[in-house]
Structure 1
């Protein structure tokens, strides 16, 4: 379908704005832009800032608590930003919307960024946060037997790595993974038509993705690591049920679709939710685009159902049933 008219206006504004010169200007620009961006009106019980232990340093985090009597389920959230930018502040409203829409406590975690901290540092931080959260449900006021991970873009990639590590290292039982336009293949980038079709003019560009990869990976051989490119993982079985959201005008569209299919082929219950007319980043644009808001509301509804008290925990040894596109 055509580009969402509301997001077309956003792209025109992006094109007219001065382009950041270098990484530090990019980081400052995205924080400033997030602060100016309009937000949807959602109601939650409150937030609490805290720090949690990481493998190298304390990690800033923010806990979002939904309205109503707890303990609620818990979703650990990782923000996107190409592994080099953004923060818990830039994704504050994404977490508020998930908290309200899915009736889940959300723990948003700020991991170390590249190039100061390259792979595997962000993965190590994310997994340490997941393990800590699973062990501190009482402190968080959450029922960690109903545990999920969620994230967008680079954050979705960290979610994928966390589910692999939890399976392989005897870690927490994760009931669901919400993956919003994940990057899933840093190796065979020419395989995906969406990389060519949407590599220019739709916010996330091919040039910027190349830059992010160079910043994140100190060794080019790391591109094929399963925690970086899960489409190259030898084993995708026994992972939590997944919802993969993609955007029609996103360079990452096709690899997100491919990852959902790879999970299904491995016997994991996985669903792909396409985003007609959407661009990369639509999760942060729900106040600007009713269609983006509807997609995120549907995703929150899926997460709520997966974390409901009456639903059997998935963890490992998942059902081989699948949900078609």
Structure 2
């Protein structure tokens, strides 16, 4: 279907903005842009900042508690940003909506970023935070038996890596994984028509993806690691049920859909929720696009049902 009119206007506006001169300017710019975005009204009972153990030190985190009486399910969330940018601040609204919509405590974790901390630093931080959250769920007002991981884009990649490690390293047991437009095959761009169809003009570009990969993977051989490219290289059996959202106008569309198919073929329950008219990042723009809001509400409802 055609590009969502709200995103057409957004992209036209973005095309008039100067490109950041470097990584630090990019990081500052996304923080400012996120702060200026309109927000959907959403009610959560409490929000507090804390620190959780990472692989090599404490990590900033933010805990969201839904209205009602706990203990609640617990969802550990990892933000997107190409592994090089964004933070718990840029994804604050998304996590509020996730908390309220899924009726789950949400722990949003700010892992170390590349290039200062290339792979596997982010994966190791995500894993350490997940293990800590599972062990300390009662302190967070949550039930460790109803545990999920979620993430968007790069954060979805980290969530996938956590599901693989949880299976292979004896837990914690995960009930669900919510993956928003995940990158699942760093080395297979030529296999996916969406990389060519949507490689320019739709927010996430092929050039930017190449930059992110160069920053994240100090050793190019790491692109083949199952934690980086699970679609071609990981064993996908015995993983938690998954919901995978994709966007029609996203270079990552086809590998996200292919990952859902591969999970299903391996015996892991997986559902693919396509986003007609959407662009990469639509989960952060629910106040701009009613269609994006509808998709996210459907995703939150899925997670709520999976964590009953």
Aligned to 2:2: 2
For 1:181 and 1:120, the matched residues in 2 are separated by 21
- Structure 2: which 5+ residue stretches go unaligned? none
> How does 1:55-204 map onto structure 2 within 5 Å?
55-204=55-204
Secondary structure of 1:27 counterpart: helix
Conservation of the 8 A alpha-carbon contact between 2:248 and 2:278:
yes
TM-superposed CA distance for 1:297, in Å, is: 0.3
Aligned to 2:286: 286
Conservation of the 8 A alpha-carbon contact between 2:61 and 2:88:
yes
Under a length normalisation based on structure 2, what TM-score does the superposition of the two structures give? Answer: 0.99
For 1:55 and 1:127, the matched residues in 2 are separated by 8
Secondary structure of 2:275 counterpart: coil
TM-superposed CA distance for 1:18, in Å, is: 1.4
For 1:234 and 1:202, the matched residues in 2 are separated by 29
For 2:178 and 2:223, the matched residues in 1 are separated by 23
Q: Deviations over 1:9-52 (max 9, x none)?
A: 11011101111111000000000000000000000101011001
Aligned to 1:269: 269
For 1:126 and 1:289, the matched residues in 2 are separated by 30
Task: Say whether 1:300 aligns with 2:300.
Answer: yes
- Structure 1: which 5+ residue stretches go unaligned? 309-325
For 2:255 and 2:198, the matched residues in 1 are separated by 13
Task: Detail structure 1 runs of 4+ shifted over 3 Å in the superposition.
Answer: none
Conservation of the 8 A alpha-carbon contact between 2:227 and 2:234:
no
Matched positions, count: 308
For 2:20 and 2:55, the matched residues in 1 are separated by 32
Secondary structure of 1:208 counterpart: helix
TM-superposed CA distance for 1:234, in Å, is: 4.0
Secondary structure of 1:184 counterpart: coil
For 2:100 and 2:125, the matched residues in 1 are separated by 26
TM-superposed CA distance for 1:55, in Å, is: 1.4
Task: Say whether 1:227 aligns with 2:227.
Answer: yes
Q: CA RMSD in A?
A: 0.5
Conservation of the 8 A alpha-carbon contact between 1:225 and 1:232:
no
Conservation of the 8 A alpha-carbon contact between 1:237 and 1:263:
yes
